[in-house]
C-alpha cells in the first residue's frame, strides 16, 4: 500500500516537472520571437547616402505647377490652383508636384521680413492637397530678382525667409521636400552662390536636420555648371537639381519673354541620331557628376513651349524623360497647364500625346 502511494506520488511529481519545463520552453520561445520581431535589421537602418538616394527615387515622375504661386500674384499669369489638379496629376500616374513659389513678393522688406499669413496659408493648402492625394511636393523659393542682382545685401532677407519656412513646415512628412533657390544667375554665381548655400542651408537645418533638400548650380541650374557647385561634405541629405531646355531655340521658340524668340518659329526636333546623341551627352554628364560626387540628381525642369509643332514636342519630351529614367534621374516636367502645359485647363483634359510621352519612360 505504502509502495503504491509512493509510486503515485513520484508519477505526479514527474508530470508537474514536465509541465513546468514545457511552460518555461514556451515562455522562452515567445520572448525570443518578440526580440526577433522588434530587433532592427541592417536593411531597416540605411546609411545617409542610401536614404537620400531612396528619397530621390521616390520623386520619380513629377510635374511643375508653374505660373501660379510664382507669378506676382496667383492668377496673374493665368493659373489658379484647384484641388482637382492634384487629383488629375495623381490619377495620370505622376509621383510628385514641384511648387514654384515667389515668397519674396509676399514678405516684408524690413526685418524680421515676415511672410504674409494669408499667402503662407495658400501654400499650406497646396501641401495638404499633395499629401492627401499621395503626391510628394517640392516647395521652392522662386523668382527673387533682388537676390540675383544684390546677393550680399539680400542674403539676410533670404535667410529670414528660410528660417520661417523651415520652422513652419518642420513637422510635415518627408514627402515634403525643400528646394533652396530656383535658377541662381546674374551676380548670384560662382563663389557668391557657393558662399550663400551653407548660410541658407544652416537656416533650414536648425529645424529640419535631415529633411531632403534640393540645391542646384548657378547659371540657371545649368548642367554645365555642376563642376562649379560646392556643397557641404557633411550633409548627405542633399539632392542636386539641374534644368534642361536644349536646343533652346527649339524649346523656347515664340516665347514672349525671350528676346528674339519669334525668329525661331518653325524649328522642329527630328530626333535623328545626332539630336539624340546631344541629349544623351548632356544628361549623361549630369548622371556622371552625381555618381562621382555621391549626390542624386533631380531634373527639376524640362519642356518645350507650345509654339513648337506638337509632334516635335512629343518626340523631344519622350526622349528626355526616357533618358532621365534610364540614367536614374528623377524629374519634373515644366509644366502642368500653361504655355508648356501637358494639361489643357480650359478643356479640363490632358493633352494625351504629351502625357503619354511622359508616362512612356519605363
For the residues 199-226, what does the mean pLDDT come to? 98
Average of per-residue pLDDT across 292-317: 98
Average pLDDT value for the chain: 89
Give 35-92 as a 3 state SS string. HHHHCCCHHHCCCHHHHHHHHHHHHCEEEECCCCCCCCCCCCCCCCCCHHHHHHHHHH
pLDDT tier, 285 (very low <50, low <70, confident <90, very high otherwise): very high
Active site residue 74: no
Band (pLDDT 50/70/90 cuts) for residue 13 is very low
Instruction: Please report where in the chains the cell 496659408 appears, as a residue.
Output: 121
Return the pLDDT at 47: 39
Catalytic residue among 154, 179, 183, 335: 183
Q: Which of 53, 179, 301, 314 is catalytic?
A: 301
Q: Give percent of the chain with pLDDT exceeding 90.
A: 85
Output the pTM of the full model: 0.86
Question: Would residue 301 show up in a list of annotated catalytic residues for this protein?
Answer: yes
pLDDT at 34: 34
**Average pLDDT for residues 291-295, to the nearest whole number?**
98
Note the pLDDT of residue 362: 72
Whether the per-residue pLDDT at 43 is higher than 90: the answer is no
Q: How far apart are CA 197 and CA 299, in angstroms?
A: 19
Candidate from 13-17, 182-186, 224-228 with smallest mean pLDDT: 13-17
Q: State pLDDT tens for residues 110-166.
A: 999 999 999 999 999 999 999 999 999 999 999 999 999 999 999 999 999 999 999
Measured in whole angstroms, the distance separating CA 352 from the mean position of its chain's CA atoms is 24
Amino acid at each position: 500500500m505504502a509502495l503504491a502511494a509512493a509510486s503515485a506520488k513520484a508519477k505526479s511529481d514527474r508530470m508537474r516537472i514536465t509541465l513546468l519545463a514545457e511552460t518555461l520552453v514556451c515562455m522562452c520561445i515567445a520572448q525570443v520571437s518578440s526580440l526577433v520581431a522588434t530587433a532592427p535589421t541592417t536593411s531597416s537602418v540605411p546609411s545617409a547616402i542610401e536614404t537620400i538616394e531612396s528619397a530621390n527615387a521616390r520623386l520619380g515622375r513629377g510635374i511643375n505647377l508653374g505660373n501660379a504661386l510664382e507669378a506676382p500674384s496667383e492668377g496673374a499669369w493665368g493659373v489658379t490652383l484647384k484641388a482637382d489638379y492634384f487629383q488629375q496629376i495623381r490619377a495620370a500616374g505622376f509621383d510628385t508636384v514641384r511648387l514654384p513659389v515667389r515668397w519674396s513678393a509676399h514678405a516684408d522688406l524690413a526685418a524680421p521680413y515676415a511672410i504674409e499669413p494669408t499667402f503662407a496659408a495658400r501654400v499650406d493648402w497646396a501641401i495638404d492637397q499633395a499629401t492627401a492625394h499621395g503626391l510628394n511636393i517640392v516647395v521652392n523659393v522662386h523668382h527673387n530678382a533682388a537676390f540675383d542682382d544684390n546677393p550680399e545685401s539680400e542674403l539676410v532677407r533670404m535667410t529670414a525667409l528660410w528660417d520661417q519656412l523651415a520652422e513652419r513646415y518642420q513637422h510635415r512628412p518627408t514627402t515634403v521636400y525643400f528646394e533652396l533657390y530656383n535658377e541662381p544667375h546674374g551676380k548670384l554665381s560662382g563663389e557668391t552662390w557657393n558662399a550663400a548655400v551653407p548660410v541658407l542651408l544652416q537656416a533650414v537645418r536648425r529645424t529640419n536636420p535631415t529633411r531632403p533638400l534640393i540645391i542646384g548650380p548657378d547659371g540657371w541650374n545649368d548642367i554645365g555648371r555642376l563642376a562649379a557647385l560646392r556643397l557641404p561634405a557633411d550633409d548627405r541629405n542633399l539632392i542636386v537639381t539641374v534644368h534642361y531646355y536644349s536646343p533652346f531655340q527649339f524649346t523656347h521658340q515664340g516665347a514672349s519673354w525671350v528676346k528674339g524668340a519669334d525668329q525661331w518659329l518653325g524649328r522642329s526636333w527630328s530626333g535623328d541620331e545626332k539630336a539624340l546623341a546631344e541629349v544623351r551627352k548632356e544628361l549623361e554628364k549630369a548622371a556622371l557628376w552625381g555618381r562621382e560626387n555621391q549626390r542624386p540628381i533631380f531634373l527639376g525642369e524640362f519642356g518645350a513651349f507650345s509654339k513648337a509643332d506638337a509632334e516635335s514636342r512629343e518626340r523631344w519630351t519622350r526622349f528626355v524623360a526616357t533618358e532621365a529614367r534610364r540614367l536614374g534621374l528623377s524629374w519634373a516636367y515644366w509644366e502642368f497647364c500653361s504655355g508648356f502645359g501637358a494639361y489643357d485647363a480650359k478643356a479640363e483634359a490632358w493633352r494625351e500625346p504629351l502625357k503619354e510621352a511622359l508616362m512612356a519612360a519605363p
